[in-house]
Structure 1
Amino acid sequence: MIGDARTGSGFGGLARYLHSGDRVAWAEARNLPTTDPDLVPLMMRSTAMLSKRVKDPVFHYSISWPEYEQLPKEQMLSIADRTLADLGLAEHQAVIVAHDDTAHPHVHVMVNRVHPETGVAWEKWKYKTRLERSLKDQEKELGLTQVPGRLSGTERDKSVQRRPTKGEQRLAERLDVSTLDRWSKDDVSELRGRLAPHFEAAKGWGELDELLRQEGVTLYAKGPGVILTNGERYAKLSEMGKRARKSGLEERFGETFDTYAEVRQTKRQQHRSYWDMAKGLRDQVARMGKTLREWVFGGQESLLDRLNRQSKPRQKRGFRRREDRDGPER
């Protein structure tokens, strides 16, 4: 199972997103009398006003399963309820919404951080780590596919290939993607389940690129399409599900991937050109037979020389050596 979470300030916008379109398979409420997307935000907002200090009362997280794990509603609800309990949110107002617009099943949970009776805001310290730990424990207990975690420190399955380091990611960006091997079907299925929440949450190519980069993969153009690669293997973007198709993302983001890729490449080249310019200046000054310090200050006394000169001890005024005062010895 893959969990993704974030906090926010608006119940209404999130409720409209969760119930938009024809993708809602089912919805359940916890500590609320209804799942109505118009009434729930009003109720949650009224409860949130019990706390005068909290600025981000919305807690939103999602749980996704691989395509081959089609769980019944009762089991998906049980897992969602368990995460609420493990996070200490069992008594808080919450709405659980299942979507069926992708090949992999997933649910969204919108929670009010403010307790409906005490008015105390839920402590969000390390909430992503706590959510991941809850999901890892349930994977073992229920015999579900164990996806390696990044945050909770749980023991990883050695058969699962580790994610590349940041250095390996930077190396992947410089590789010729035409030399990469394809991921296997099993690897693509695991990758699809792991990345699905990011395709749902991203609002632009830049945000999506950053979210995927944190997962160890990078977006690249390959012919008329787009691929994801970790520097050694790749998969087509279209293999990541309906919500990850290039045409759909371009329409949603209001920008073509080719335009974004050109801007991204320009920024990378710009940083390199600044460094090349600095090295070129250094070499030009060296050919003139000068140091950078001499070239900058010219014939003027440098600040360092001035400080060294001023730091030398000086004789006190009005004091003369004995031989100067009494004249030469006879």
Structure 2
Amino acid sequence: MIATKIGKKSGVPDNYTRLGEYIAAAEEKGEKLHQFWIRNCDAGTNIEDLDLALLEIEAVRRQKPDIADKTYHLVVSFRPGEQDRLTKTDLMAIEAEYAKALGYGDHQRVAGTHINTDNFHMHIAFNKVHPETLKVVTPHRDFKILAKVSREMEKKYGLAIDPGMTDGKERDPYKLSPAARNYEAHTWQESFQRHVLKHREEILVGLTKAKNWQEAQEVLAEYDISLKLRGNGMVLMSPDGQAIKASQLDRSCSKMKLEERFGMFKAQQGKRPRKGSHQARTRHRYKLRPLARHRNTPALWRRYLNKRKILPRQPSLRARALRNWKMFLLMEAYPDPLAMVLIMAHREMLAIFSYSPTIDQADSVKAAKLNRSPESRSQNIRT
């Protein structure tokens, strides 16, 4: 389990009602609501009571008009398949443990679990304003609290253990972040973080020799990486917009450490070099690449790339799916046995990584729907 606080974005109003409706609706593409409940509201505990409960919560929050941030939004991510091992009672008990540890046991809250093919997670929206005392509670060093509760719940319910930064173990610099793991699980394509970590030692050697921001940028540009400020930190950015924290490359690459060496980082220094010069200096470009390799991969991968080149500006459902290597293989599995071979190869490879899901029944349903449509039947593979 990985518990993450979703902080309030600067300049964006705190809108608890919108968040509560989002949790109940499971609005993200491919997601559906799994379980839902409300705590400490006289309006009720079920999704049918949501409208009244939100009015009740907003009435409490209005008692603190001078407080800009009155919501604590927590997301708890589970491993694939764990939704089948946890009942609603279990999920509510897990949510209650987080609430108690954070000091929100008596606070109003809306909670729900969302499920899709590859990602099962729980949203909890706490009203930080106590409904009786009107005291606004903001947990101190909550990342330690979240990690402690996560480890306890993993042991209690027999879930896979996701060691966190507070567990007293040396961080594995080659471990992918949850975002990178999700990207690879959804696309079966190599993530930007994996590309960076493949060249980690070379990059660190180059950065060690750099004497200023310009030289550091030139080192990173060789690997198709640019630097950008984000929040209070710094990220490594890919050409297609993927980003990882600079400190995930190495602790010496955090914003604080780099600014100690090179001085304050200015926004204009973080811009990419001109296109021509950047291309000339990029020795290891980040590009679309299948995650699993097999002797049958090259032929299908070329076909996939060729189809991506001719996608219409306003693509159909099938065309949108072709932007994703995983969905391409699922669609090709019906007319092309080689695609099924690659799917099996992916399943075997992803099974090695405990974080990764295998093809499940939902994927098969997706593939069947796409291949049953009149459009897909008329556009089956033509080589």
| Bigger radius of gyration | 1
Instruction: Using structure 2 for the length normalisation, give the TM-score.
Output: 0.44
Instruction: Using structure 1 for the length normalisation, give the TM-score.
Output: 0.50
Q: Which has the higher contact order (CA 8 A, sep 6+)?
A: 1
